[in-house]
Amino acid sequence: MLTVHHLGRSQSERIVWLCEELLLDYELKRYGRDPATRLAPPEYKALHPIGTAPVVTDGGLVLGESGAIIEYIIAKYGGGRLARQAGHPEFADYLYWFHYANASFQALLHRALVARRLEPPPDHRVLLDLQARLGRALDFLNRRLGEADYLAGSELTAADIMIVFSLTTMRTFTSYDLKPYPHIIAYLRRIGAREAYQRAMRKGDPGMALVLD
């Protein structure tokens, strides 16, 4: 059976949400973070050589990386649902935003997180550069979500499942303000109204306040 190993408040929430959207039969194993370091516990780190979330197991397979896991599940268990195939008019947009989520946007947030933990002065050039880059990235997303209800087009796809963590839960680690971006806020309200998203968050992080605005 497919088992999703979910580390609390982590990118593995994407995989729980994907399984709920696809109405899959899967096992969910939850792991809490160390209360002092906020890092994964040893038993989670032992699942995969890289030691980071997300991780799934499927029989003898152990697989990490959000994008790889999502593609694997959609192909093996989802019948291609929530993806776009070559020839579909949204194929290129789907590919772009699916990969943009972690390759560009989440990576930028991680750099900002590390920079802030070093506690530089507010006018440090690295911090100012990261803030400017984040502003440009949010402007870019806001424009896209003013053109379409979802990143690939009119319907939710795995591209949305990839990026929502960065716009929501990640803000409990690296805070930033979405008030200047009304289309992103409207988008998060659409996501938050989805029953599958609500089920996933209740199962994966029960009691956690959702960051949807």
Kindly report, residue by residue over 115-146, the tens digit of the pLDDT: 998 999 988 999 999 999 999 999 999 999 99
Asked if 20 contacts 197 with a C-beta cutoff of 8 angstroms, the reply is yes
Asked if 73 contacts 162 with a C-beta cutoff of 8 angstroms, the reply is no
Average pLDDT, the chain: 96
User: To 10 degrees, what angle do helices 158-167 and 13-21 make?
Assistant: 140
Backbone angles phi and psi of 196, in degrees to 5: -65, -40
Quick one: what percent of the chain has pLDDT higher than 90? Answer: 93
Task: State the Cα–Cα distance between residues 109 and 192, nearest whole angstrom.
Answer: 22
pLDDT score of 25:
98
Kindly report, residue by residue over 141-193, the tens digit of the pLDDT: 999 999 999 999 999 999 999 999 999 999 999 999 999 999 999 999 999 99
pLDDT score of 37:
86
pLDDT score of 82:
98
Quick one: what percent of the chain has pLDDT higher than 70? Answer: 100
* Residues whose CB is less than 8 angstroms from the CB of residue 119 and which lie 6 or more positions away in sequence, other chains included: none
Task: State the Cα–Cα distance between residues 158 and 102, nearest whole angstrom.
Answer: 12
User: Is a pLDDT exceeding 90 seen at residue 38?
Assistant: no
Q: Which CATH architecture has domain 91-194?
A: Up-down Bundle (1.20)
pLDDT score of 175:
95
Q: Omega into 121 within 30° of 0, i.e. cis?
A: no
Confidence of residue 71 (pLDDT cuts 50, 70, 90): very high
Task: State the Cα–Cα distance between residues 2 and 10, nearest whole angstrom.
Answer: 19
Confidence of residue 52 (pLDDT cuts 50, 70, 90): very high
User: Is a pLDDT exceeding 90 seen at residue 208?
Assistant: yes
Q: Where are the domains of the chain?
A: 2-82+198-204, 91-194
Q: What Cα–Cα distance (Å) separates residue 18 from each residue in 114, 159, 180, 198?
A: 28, 11, 29, 12
- The 2-7 sheet, strands edge to edge: 27-31, 2-7, 55-58, 61-64
Q: What is the CATH number of domain 2-82+198-204?
A: 3.40.30.10
Asked if 5 contacts 60 with a C-beta cutoff of 8 angstroms, the reply is no
Kindly report, residue by residue over 82-107, the tens digit of the pLDDT: 999 999 999 999 999 999 999 999 99
pLDDT score of 36:
86
Mean pLDDT of 13-17: 98
